[in-house]
Amino acid sequence: MNNKLYDHLIFELSHPGRIGYSLPHNAIPHHALPSDVCRDKPAELPECDEMTVVRHYTNHSGNNFGVDNGFYPLGSCTMKYNPKINEEIASLPSFTHIHPLQPKQTVKGCEEVTTALRHLLSSLTGMYDFTLKPCAGAHGELTGLMIIRAYHESRGDMKRVKVIVPDSAHGTNPASAAVCGLQVVEVKSLADGTVDIDDLRSKLDDTVAAMMMTNPNTLGLFEHNIVEIVKLVHDCGGLMYYDGANLNPLLGICRPGDMGFDVMHINLHKTFSTPHGGGGPGSGPVGVRKGLEPFFPMVNPFHGNFLVEVRALTYILSLGKENIKHVGPLSTLNATYIRHQLKDAYELPIQSLSKHEFVFNGLKDKSTGVTTLDVAKRLLDFGFHAPTIYFPLLFHEAMMIEPTENESKETLDHFIDVMHQIAREAKETPDVVKTAPHNTPISRVDDVLAARHPVLTFKGEN
């Protein structure tokens, strides 16, 4: 690969003949393997001593960014604090040393964990029951849509092929509908960021299987017409699907079931605090109203992502009924504080009150050409993870900020100061922002090249 970034990454620690292990003499008789399963030449593994290997990986691990080393305001993804007690409980041998095919009577305690979690999720959401099998939010969406399709088909109603999705929806919503073989129909948002009911009305007929919604939506706005929306969709025979990936703002305060939703999923790894990112681990339980539970999936990847379930149960029980209802208001307070303190420097396209997250449309003063991407990169220089950028798609320079409830005022103030400093730099020394980051191990990468030609081996082959 002919890329400057790649030159910088080459490291060659291997020295022929150096080894980092010692094995006892093999007392087991030698067995020759069939030649067709043997290598032609030895595997080209790096030859290193143990200390070099340990230092190499230890130093690399320090380049990772996570909630344990800095503020991580990634909107919609809900990177909240993961209490260490969760890890302690999830690493108990009685949870880690089980096998999914073990006889049921030997794992009674684990069964109690899943039953208790299902009941707690039902009481937090107003759903009748949950299946814990789906292993991610998107997996939950697909499962939920398949439940909805099975429900319509069970009634002989075969013409329902459409799923209505607001234009502010998370990308997985239309993707899951398409994977499920359903047609996606987009419904517009009004200038205030909520669903345009007239547009919705024009798209409703007896071919609608479901409408998928997030409430508060991805702009952090509570859909105040939710009761009317639910009634319109139900009146035409469709079901309401609630994307509860990020249930933070509602916990213990209001419930999708009470708003009239029929099917929903929750991301345990966002709302109930399992560390996530880079593809997992996740868990996306699906809840349904009474009458839909016969359509729960029968085939399953064993029992779902069990240790994520253990963490979620620990999280819910350690907060308890009294404290869990502070999660929503505190995350809303934190988001509102940042929004208020920064709206002089960043463009706030929607003025109405938002909940746990909100969206800026880039810098207020865009005259020097500094973009949202530049601001996100510059934040890394100050030890902050960037917010979610260029999503939702409603605004060209979207910057979606979600602080979560556990952040202290000092952390928020530091972030606010840095965001102000970046806005000043954008005006006075724009090149500093446009060429950021400057303090990270790797400077600005070519995102497109990295996605198209990922270099995945130490030898630089892709």
Ligand X SMILES: *Cc1c(COP(=O)(O)O)cnc(C)c1O
Nearest to 162 by CA among 115, 130, 124, 209: 209
Q: Does 136 bind ligand X (CB under 6 A)?
A: yes
In the set 107, 195, 204, 245, which binds ligand X (CB under 6 A)? 245
166 makes contact with ligand X (CB under 6 A): no
Is position 304 an interface residue for ligand X (rule: CB under 6 A)? no
Give the burial string for 169-202 (b: 16+ CB within 10 Å, else e). Answer: bbebbbebbeebebebbebebeeebbbbeebbee
Q: Which stretch binds ligand X (CB under 6 A): 32-40, 41-49, 130-138, 332-340?
A: 130-138
| Residues from 199 through 218 that contact ligand X (CB under 6 A) | 214
Q: Which strand (E) or helix (H) includes residue 337?
A: helix 327-342
Is 138 among the residues that bind ligand X (CB under 6 A)?
A: yes
| 256 is a site residue for ligand X (CB under 6 A) | no
User: Is the CB of 166 or the CB of 257 nearer to ligand X?
Assistant: 166
Which of the stretches 133-141, 199-207, 306-314, 345-353 binds ligand X when contact is defined by CB under 6 A? Answer: 133-141
Q: Is 30 exposed, middle or buried (0-12, 13-18, 19+ CB in 10 A)?
A: exposed
243 binds ligand X (CB under 6 A): yes
For residues 135, 137, 138 and 143, what is the CA-based torsion angle, rounded to 10 degrees?
70
Angle (CA) 171 173 174, round 5°: 80
Q: Which stretch binds ligand X (CB under 6 A): 5-13, 119-127, 239-247, 420-428?
A: 239-247
- Residues in 72-111 that interact with ligand X by CB under 6 A: 76-77
Contact (CB, 8 A) for 89 and 314: yes
Q: Does 282 bind ligand X (CB under 6 A)?
A: yes
Give the integer Cα–Cα distance in Å for 347 and 355. Answer: 18
Can you state the angle between helices 108-125 and 306-324, rounded to 10 degrees? 50
Structural contact between residues 128 and 290, judged by C-beta atoms closer than 8 angstroms: yes
Q: Does 152 bind ligand X (CB under 6 A)?
A: no
Nearer to ligand X among residue 114 and residue 218 (C-beta)? 218
C-alpha to C-alpha distance for 166 and 19, rounded to whole angstroms: 58
CB 270 → ligand X: shortest distance, Å? 6
Instruction: For the CB of residue 375, give the shortest distance to ligand X in the complex, in Å.
Output: 22
CB of 203 to ligand X, least distance (A): 21
Residue 147 · residue 264 · CB < 8 Å? no
Residue closest to ligand X, measured at CB: 137
- To ligand X, the closest distance from the beta carbon of 201 in angstroms equals 24
- Contact residues: ligand X, CB under 6 A: 76-77, 136-138, 170, 172, 214, 243, 245-246, 267, 282, 284
